[in-house]
Structure 1
Amino acid sequence: MKKKIAFATCVQLGLSCIEEIYHIGGNLNLLITLQDKKAKDKSGRIYLDEIASEHNAPLLKVDNINDQEVLRALKEYEIDWLFIIGWSQIAKKEVLEAPTHGCIGMHPTLLPIGRGRAAIPWAIIKGLEETGVTMFKLDEGVDTGDIIGQGVIKLDQNTTATELYQKVDDMHITLFGKYWEDIVNNNITLTKQNDADATEWPGRTPKDGEVLNSMTMDEADKLVRAVTHPYPGAFYKGEDHNIRIWSAKINKYEGAIKLRDGYLIPIDYEIEG
């Protein structure tokens, strides 16, 4: 018997997955998202009202994934699997154990590499040659659960956050297409993560996007590419104003931003007071 599935998200990555589920003929028995007033400035924030109405799916809006109303809804709709994707709040044990078979998440790295936050910016800042997306069963740790499947994404020295975000979005869709039938038919194979290979990446805030004169050209270039759209962008503090930098190039050019070993020329930028 096919399983009853719920899906919790508040960002574009999650909406893309929901759209793919319906595209391949799947069904969702419950949608969960944040209250409209919450996380309005979150990168990629979306709303599920339209797709819920289109597919006649119950929609629950909450302040926190651990709220009692979430537990009541999972029980009421007899949910077997709950997907929690693009959701910054950590689900507690009570929620993880509420669905019959548990909860499934997605993380935009090749776990156990890059557990934690800001996976897309860090992959560029660290100069990785490849990253990816991991579908895994959630447990009480942070990105530590058993792996269902992974997809690899290649990077180069020109990759931007905008491009990588889209590739991550596409890989989410690919993994759902590959594993959806196994999930709803309870036919998945779980692989434990090797904790010995694990790395953890810290969260980032807009202030971490500051370009400093002490940086090398390579460091500044990576930072600009890593925090461009859909993120808040890099910035440089000038004497009279700040410059918000969305893209730049490196050159020996007087008058641009002087770095440790050269000059960074903003190409797409905004002057801020």
Structure 2
Amino acid sequence: MKKKMAFATCVQLGLSCIQEIYKIGGNLDLLITLEDDKAKNKSGRIYLDNIATEHSVPLLKIDNINNQEVLNTLKEHQIDWLFIIGWSQIAKKEVLETPTFGCIGMHPTLLPVGRGRAAIPWAIIKGLKETGVTMFKLDEGVDTGDIIGQGVISLDQNITATDLYQKVDEMHITLIVKYWDDIVTNNITLLKQNEADATEWPGRKPEDGEILNTMTMDEADKLVRAVKHPYPGAFYKDGDKTFRVWSAKTNKDDGVIQLRDGYLIPIDYEIEG
């Protein structure tokens, strides 16, 4: 019997997956997103009205994934699997258990490494050689569920958040295509995460993008690349002026912003204030 599928998202990564599901001949029975006035400034924020209309899918707009109306709607549509992708609220036990088989998420690291927030900036700041995307069955923990599949993304020393966001977006699509048939036919193999390898990365705020004189050239370079669009950008305060730096180069001997072991030279920047 054909499985009934639902998808909850409010960001581009999720919309890309939904578009790909239809492209490969898949079908969704319910779409869930945030109310229009919620999370307007969230990185990659999108709206699902057009795609819902195009494919005649019911669209539920909510304040919180754990609301009673979500549970009621999942039951009403007899949903078997619910994808929750690009969603910052943690789904509680009741939501996870309402679809017949559960809920599926994706996280832009190679779990169990990098559970938590700000996975794209942290991968660059930490100077990782590779990261990736993990598709997994959601449980009550944060990014702790059993793994369905993973895709590896190689990083070089020039990669920016813009580049990596695009690669992560493409890997979400790759994993959807690879595992869609297995999910709808209930043919997935779940792999437990190895807790011994688990790490957790904290959330980041716009003010964490400040370039400080105590930083090394390497640290400043990584920071600039890590918080480029769709993130708020790195910045440097000089008196009452703020330089918003989107790209920069480093120099040992001379430059604009003095660092611990050299200088940073902004290339693409704006002056605020």
Settle same-fold status: TM greater than 0.5: yes
What SS does structure 2 have at the residue aligned with 1:187? coil
Paired amino acid for 2:94: E
What amino acid maps onto 2:230 in structure 1? P
Alignment of 1:86-235 (within 5 A): 86-235=86-235
Distance 1:255 1:113 in 2: 37
Structure 2 CA distance for aligned equivalents of residues 239 and 36 of structure 1: 38
Measured after TM superposition, the shift of residue 256 of structure 1 is 0.4
Distance in structure 1 (CA, Å) of the matches to 2:110 and 2:34: 27
Structure 1: which 5+ runs fail to align? none
In structure 2, runs of 5+ residues without a counterpart are: none
Determine the C-alpha separation between the residues in 2 that align with 1:252 and 1:157. Answer: 18
Is the 2:5–2:82 Cα contact (8 Å) retained in structure 1? yes
For the residues of structure 1 that align with 2:213 and 2:17, how far apart are their CA atoms?
A: 41
Q: What CA distance in whole angstroms lies between the structure 2 residues aligned with 1:239 and 1:217?
A: 22
**Matched letter for residue 170 of structure 2:** D
In structure 2, how many angstroms separate the alpha carbons of the residues matched to 1:47 and 1:240? 37
One-letter amino acid matched to 2:198: A
The aligned residue for residue 59 of structure 1 is: 59
CA shift digits 1:57-83 (9 cap, x unpaired): 000000000011100000000000000
Distance in 2, Cα, partners of 1:202 & 1:240 = 30
Match of 1:71 in 2: 71
SS at match of 1:179: helix
Question: Partner letter of residue 76 of structure 2?
Answer: E
How far does residue 253 in structure 1 lie from its aligned partner after superposition? 5.4
Secondary structure of the corresponding residue to residue 151 of structure 2:
strand
* Aligned-residue CA RMSD (Å): 0.7
Name segments (4+ residues, structure 1) moved above 3 Å: 252-255
Output the amino acid matched with 2:62.
Answer: V
1:240 deviation in Å?
A: 2.7
Q: Deviations over 1:69-113 (max 9, x none)?
A: 100000000000000000000000000000000000000000000
Compute the displacement of 1:255 (Å).
4.8
Letter in 2 for 1:58: P
Residue-pair matches, total: 273
TM-score in terms of structure 1 length? 0.99
SS state of the match for residue 31, structure 1?
strand
Query: Which amino acid in the other structure matches residue 211 of structure 2?
Result: V
User: In structure 1, what is the Cα distance between the partners aligned to 2:127 and 2:53?
Assistant: 42
Shift of 1:178: 0.3
Q: Offset at 1:251?
A: 1.5
**CA–CA separation in structure 2 for the residues paired with 1:58 and 1:253:** 61
Distance 2:133 2:182 in 1: 18
Letter of the 1:66 partner, please give it: N
TM-score (norm 2): 0.99
Partner of 1:249: 249
Distance in 1 between the 2:133 and 2:89 partners?
19
Equivalent-residue separation in structure 2 for 1:96 and 1:253 (angstroms)? 56
Q: Are the counterparts in 1 of residues 252 and 261 from structure 2 also a CA contact under 8 Å?
A: no
- Partners of 2:185 and 2:101 in 1: how far apart? 12
DSSP 3-state at the match of 2:16:
helix
Q: What is the rounded CA distance, in whole Å, between the counterparts of 1:138 and 1:73 in structure 2?
A: 19
| Aligned residues of 2:254 and 2:262 also touching (Cα < 8 A) | no
Q: Distance in 2 between matches of 1:252 and 1:217?
A: 8
- Give the Å deviation of 1:239: 1.3
